[in-house]
Amino acid sequence: MDPVAVHQVMFDMAWVSDPTAWLGMLTLVVIEIVLGIDNLVFIAILTAKLPENQRDRARYIGLGGALVIRLLLLTFISFIVNMTKPLFTIGSFGVTGRDIVMMIGGLFLLYKATHELHSKLEGFDEELSVSKAAGSAMYLVILQIMVLDAVFSLDSIVTAIGMVDHIFIMMFAVVIAMAIMTLASRFITEFVNHHPTLVILCLGFLLMIGFSLIVEALGFHVPKGYMYAAIGFSLLIEIFNQIARNNTLKLGEGRAGMQSREIAANLVLRLLGSNQNQVHTLKEAIVSRTGSQVFNNTEKEMVSRVLQLSSLPVKAVMTARTDVNYVDISDSMEEIMSALKDNRSSRLVVYKDGKRDVPLGYIRRDEIFATKLGLSGAFAPVPATATAASASSDSASAETQPLSNEQLLEKKVREPLYLPETVSVIKALEEFRKSKKNFAFVFDEFGNFEGIVTLHDIMEEIAGELPDQTEVPELVRINPGVFKIEGDAILKDVSRLTGFNVPISETYHTIAGFILDYLQRVPEAGEVISMTKWKLEILKVEENTIKSVLLTNLAKAKENEKNQAKAASK
């Protein structure tokens, strides 16, 4: 075909009265927008190098220049496509410039669509890397936008050529798509992200268009109306699909929160060892609105605590042996009762003969008082003298000596559950359930007694601090951004309640352990540790153990001081 004929074909305005041409242009605009989403992300990365007041200007100038380059490429490639004079022959088949461009473009679209579909279906997307060597000058960024957008828009140019025959339709579609992407880039990105099926549908269109280009290059003419019909039918089905999904969301709005709660609850129960295996349908899994308030803050915190139990060792929640309340049953009853005056624990670890490292078990506080008062017949003293009748019936029992206080108390000692210090809290909870016990001794790898842990301690890790009149609160808010914290407070709880985030390590699990690891020594009371955003003041140290610290958020403390100063000035 001579250049004049090519010009007449390309710039023929008869398409204005053709409804299928308008449908093709509308479809092409949609596809151009979807194909340009990645370009928008890439351009956002480039413009992020610039000062904020220059970003919009660079984006508009760069996209304007990229539009000019895209139109020039479109004109040039369209001109070649319409050159139907054979350049060479293969057997009886004449190969034209149009055939070459159509074949290369079709193969490119097949590769592009297949690659993108693979990425979407496999669940990963390739990240575009921006060269760090590029300068941050505005003109350099504009140049990069123009060149790189032209390179990455090759698929949209080939798509336009494969869909329509008239260059004006291509140009109008490209200009409209570029204008929409420039003015509504944020909305378009959010819309496509919330409708992932639209991306898959458009990638399917690319496969169909690429295949039609290859067929055209091989000499088989495929009427554009067939392709428009397939695309239109697919879009109609997708519209029905979106309407059906929205209606399902509306119908299930009242139940969606409960369904999501049940699914989450079942997952948590499985983590806790439940054998319940409820199978939820796909509809139940996807109907609930992602933005709805399914859980309140208390429930979110509780679920977060449960999910951390499997990685939390039992030694992180135990009461260390230095803080355990003991009773030596070899002492006299007066000495034991005197020790109990300053001790309000309901259960005490029992030892005798001064061997605290070899505990016998534990005893309840009320049982010690019962022994003292002689309220239980099982351990009441036997009289020294007996009646003649009883002596004649059983002379041996008359000679039996009364049990000592040590023997009476030792009979009341209960055996605890024994746990290694490395076992997780979730496993410890399972052991408590199996043994029907609620009190455990924790030992290290050498069999040394390290401390105690109770079912109450584990429940506090799930529900937070539970009321106990014998316990001092682990964390107390004194002022905004200022907290008094017990040394044995778990670091994850401190982080959750105060925002004090530090690297997690297997060598420590409490705030005191973190301080010891940070300083590599035992601090003194009154010592201050200054960090970037926080300040730690050691309040109390006993027997090389950090008992309490004062944690201060420097920014919030400074803001609080300013507010107090303003209030005082008024």
Pairing of strands 528-530, 439-443: unpaired
Confidence (pLDDT) at 383: 43
User: Residue written as tokens 């000058």?
Assistant: 137
- Per residue of the chain (570 residues), give pLDDT as tens: 445 444 444 555 666 667 777 777 787 787 777 666 556 655 655 565 566 677 677 777 877 887 787 788 777 766 666 666 777 888 777 887 767 877 887 787 788 778 878 877 776 544 444 444 344 466 777 776 676 565 556 556 666 666 666 677 778 888 888 888 777 665 655 566 577 777 788 778 778 878 887 888 888 877 767 777 887 788 888 888 888 887 876 765 555 454 555 566 566 555 555 554 444 443 444 444 444 455 566 666 677 677 777 778 888 888 888 888 898 988 888 888 888 877 778 889 999 988 888 899 999 888 888 877 764 444 444 444 433 444 444 444 444 566 677 788 888 899 999 999 889 888 898 899 899 999 999 998 888 999 999 988 888 877 766 655 555 677 888 888 899 998 888 887 888 788 888 877 777 888 888 999 888 899 999 999 988 889 999 999 988 889 899 999 988 888 888 888 888 776
Q: Which domains does the chain have, with CATH numbers?
A: 3-222 (no CATH), 263-276+295-311 (no CATH), 316-453 (3.10.580.10), 475-569 (3.30.465.10)
- What global pTM score does this model have? 0.42
Report d(CA 483, CA 490) in Å as an integer. Answer: 14
Report d(CA 471, CA 323) in Å as an integer. Answer: 12
| Cα 152 to Cα 158, 221, 296, 508, 534, distances in angstroms | 11, 29, 45, 51, 47
Query: Distance between alpha carbon 331 and the CA centroid of its chain, in Å?
Result: 55
**DSSP codes, 495-555:** HHHH------BTTB-BHHHHHHHHHTSPPPTT-EEE-SSEEEEEEEEETTEEEEEEEEEHH
* Strand residues in 76-191 grouped as ranges (E): 86-90, 93-96
Name the DSSP letter for residue 165. Answer: S
**DSSP codes, 283-307:** HHHHHS-TTS--S-HHHHHHHHHHH
Name the DSSP letter for residue 89. Answer: E
